[in-house]
Amino acid sequence: IQDFQHLSSYSWVDVAQPTIIVPGNTPVWNQPTLPVTLRQDSGKRFVDQNAHRAPAFPLLPLFAAVLHTKSVTSDTAIVAFDLASVDVVSERNGLRKLLRWIEGGDNVKNFRIDVDLVGDIVLFTRRESQT
Structure confidence by residue, pLDDT tens digits, 95-127: 888 888 888 877 778 889 999 999 999 999 999
Q: Is residue 73 part of a domain?
A: yes
Do residues 48 and 93 make contact, with C-beta atoms less than 8 angstroms apart?
yes
Q: Is residue 81 part of a domain?
A: yes
Residue 115: name the closest of 80, 78, 90 by CA.
90
**Residue-level pLDDT at 107:** 76
Give this prediction's pTM: 0.74
Residue 82: name the closest of 67, 62, 65, 94 by CA.
67
Q: Is residue 31 part of a domain?
A: no
Q: Is residue 87 part of a domain?
A: yes
Cα separation, 82 vs 91, whole angstroms? 18
Residue 28's pLDDT band (boundaries 50, 70, 90)? Answer: confident
Domain count of the chain?
A: 1
